[in-house]
Chains A and B, each alone.
Chain A
């Protein structure tokens, strides 16, 4: 089935791209947000990603699994060109924090996460953690942790060796540990209360991987 999608994408079948968009626009959008810390930029990155995917369609391997890692890789490249320096990323995170975590949400779509204090807190924690990482570490961690890619998939998405994925993740982990040690935050205990809210937050599951 997925091989078929790959073939249709390679052949430039418009319907295949419409399906790709419906299946993965959301994942690309949220991935781009984690890389840019800015929802409106994330929307631009998402839009550019699918146009770029169309342009690069002949590079798709006819054999293989889901095209989701490929799209996330393209989005990572595009986001990188926008967010060239870490300074920029930190500024975006700081701007969000300064205006209160509510500002992390684009209020137009507030129905989705509005009022869910735990979600906002977790999103803020995610951005704060990501802001401590170097960009290459941030990219790899984002793909593996939140997008659930395996090392090989992340390596393929970014066009880097698997060993590089491993070493970046290892550095990311060291930094995260230092960050956690520095905080000694009591909020970790709150986790039990979050379980029942998770489903309510996600009205739609994304497409099949």
Chain B
């Protein structure tokens, strides 16, 4: 009755297991990332080996944030890998081409880099903060959903037989729905989900609901956040301590994530901009273009460790948030991504309140 599965008569045809190695360069890449993180954390902590007591709590699940909630980083990267590799592999290795449902990888976009002005950030953020405070925002009612539609694309780095190349995922639409409490949701994104999309609802193994956090907020969670910029910024630093490439960059990234795919009340949006103005290294950029081709001015920060600059793009006249992009603004320390490459880009097209998942604004019901 209690025989181990390897002894069941149902399993021999599933054994022995078929396994695969990561190519040596990918193994090495991930190992280096791990070791870099470890050495950074150790360098930042008081002792040679930080003890458990002094180590800050990191975010609950970095993977969840990147994979599901943040289209700009690894989520799209993974999507690009999933589609891009099929296509490339088809032509290079097997000659069979992409099967149905695979989308082609596009050319890598490059851009003209806007001029950064360290002095201008405070004034620009003050302006967009005022505009945000005055923008009308419909509160999300009981049983209603936040619907966000964006357009997005990102590059991926490919390693094939020792050579490295870049590919870009096609610019595509991403649609998300999230209930007020964050417990129910839906995602439709080519390359990540099928045309029907996938649910974002569900409990974890222990039957617990995932708790909303700064990096995975629900509307209810956002409405409970402090709107005093100093208190808010302190909370952001506290909750993201020990994660990402340094505290300032991580605070900036966290705010950017909230701007791109959540539905903060107007007072909170205004407070987020005021908080961002207090982060060291934030600059104004005179010109940037979002994934929908809309030009604007930007608030940006250069991540020293990667040479990437993340830009929040605002309409030049209305100061409404348009989208976000990350560009290779300085030298890539790995020597892979040329300066001026658009690493990822997005544009918020719709941000609205609807009555159910898969419902579109303006639809009856």
A156 within 8 A of B: no
B363 within 8 A of A: no
Q: Mark B10-45, 1 if CB is under 8 A from A, else 0.
A: 111111111111110011001101110111011000
Contact B63 A201 (CB under 8 A): no
A4 within 8 A of B: no
Knowing A113-B18, A177-B10 are in contact, say whether A95-B194 is a contact too (CB < 8 A): yes
Contact B17 A146 (CB under 8 A): yes
Q: Which of A146, A166, A172 contacts B2 (CB 8 A)?
A: A166
Contact B86 A103 (CB under 8 A): yes
Q: Which of A33, A47, A99 contacts B33 (CB 8 A)?
A: A47
Number of residue pairs spanning A and B whose beta carbons lie under 8 angstroms apart: 219
Q: Which of A80, A108, A125 has the most C-beta atoms of chain B within 10 angstroms of its own C-beta?
A: A108
**CA–CA, A124 to B163, complex, Å?**
30
Give chain A residues whose Cβ lies under 8 Å from the Cβ of B49. 11-13
Residue of A nearest to B61 (CB): A81
A100 within 8 A of B: yes
Q: Which of B12, B62, B81, B198 contacts A40 (CB 8 A)?
A: B81
Give chain A residues whose Cβ lies under 8 Å from the Cβ of B15. 145-146
A70 within 8 A of B: no
Contact A81 B204 (CB under 8 A): yes
**CA–CA, A99 to B19, complex, Å?**
20
State how many residues of chain B have any CB contact under 8 Å with chain A.
77
Contact B5 A144 (CB under 8 A): yes
Residue of A nearest to B19 (CB): A30
Contact B10 A176 (CB under 8 A): yes
Contact B37 A26 (CB under 8 A): no
Knowing A91-B193, A109-B20 are in contact, say whether A80-B205 is a contact too (CB < 8 A): yes
CB distance from A41 to the nearest CB of B (A): 6
Contact A108 B18 (CB under 8 A): no
B140 within 8 A of A: no
Contact B92 A29 (CB under 8 A): no
Give chain B residues whose Cβ lies under 8 Å from the Cβ of A43. 22, 26, 30, 81
Give chain B residues whose Cβ lies under 8 Å from the Cβ of A57. 52
B122 within 8 A of A: no
Knowing A25-B31, A99-B101, A125-B14 are in contact, say whether A87-B199 is a contact too (CB < 8 A): yes
Contact A44 B31 (CB under 8 A): no
Interface pairs A-B: 4 shortest CB-CB: A107-B89, A99-B99, A58-B52, A40-B81
Residues of B at under 8 Å CB distance from A? 2, 4-6, 8, 10-23, 26-27, 30-31, 33-35, 37-39, 41-42, 49-52, 55, 58, 61-64, 66-68, 74, 78, 81-82, 85-86, 88-90, 92-94, 96, 98-102, 158-160, 193-194, 198-202, 204-206, 210, 242
Q: Can you name 12 A-B residue pairings with CB atoms under 8 Å? A: A25-B30, A39-B20, A44-B67, A51-B33, A54-B34, A80-B205, A88-B199, A98-B101, A100-B96, A107-B90, A108-B85, A177-B10
